[in-house]
Amino acid sequence: MDWSRLQQGLRNGERTPPAEHRLSDLTADLTRMLGDPDPHVRDGLAYPFLATWTEHGVYDDLLAGLGDGMCAGLEVGIGERDTDSVFRRSFSALVLAECIDRDTRVRRQPPSRIMQWGDRLMAWYVRERDLRGFVPGKGWAHAAANGADALGALARSPYFGSTELTVVLDVIADRVLDRDTPILVHGEPDRIAHAVMEVLRRDRVPLNIVEPWVRRLEAGARERVLTGADPYLVNGNAQAVLRALYLQLTISPRHPSIRPDLLLALVASLRRVHPVFLA
CA–CA separation, 169 and 166 (whole Å): 5
Q: Are 76 and 87 in contact (CB under 8 A)?
A: no
Top pLDDT among 189 and 18 is at 189
CA–CA separation, 79 and 13 (whole Å): 39
pLDDT band of 234, cuts 50, 70, 90: very high
pLDDT tens figures, 45-68: 999 999 999 999 999 999 999 999
Say what the pTM is. Answer: 0.95
Mean pLDDT calculated for residue range 217-234: 92
Q: Are 133 and 147 in contact (CB under 8 A)?
A: no
Residues 6+ positions from 211 with CB-CB distance below 8 Å: 261, 262, 265
Mean pLDDT calculated for residue range 149-172: 98
Q: Is the pLDDT of residue 226 over 90?
A: no
Q: Is the pLDDT of residue 1 over 80?
A: no
Residues forming beta bridges with residue 24, ordered by sequence position: none
Q: Is the pLDDT of residue 279 over 90?
A: no
Distance between the two ends of the chain, CA-based, in angstroms?
Answer: 62
pLDDT tens figures, 18-41: 888 899 999 999 999 999 999 999
Q: Which amino acid is at 17?
A: P
Top pLDDT among 227 and 87 is at 87
pLDDT band of 131, cuts 50, 70, 90: very high
Q: Which of 197, 175, 69 is nearest to 131 (CA)?
A: 175
pLDDT band of 177, cuts 50, 70, 90: very high
Residues 6+ positions from 106 with CB-CB distance below 8 Å: 57, 60
pLDDT tens figures, 76-99: 999 999 999 999 999 999 999 999
Q: How far is CA 141 from CA 27, 135, 228, in A?
A: 21, 7, 31
Q: Is the pLDDT of residue 102 over 80?
A: yes
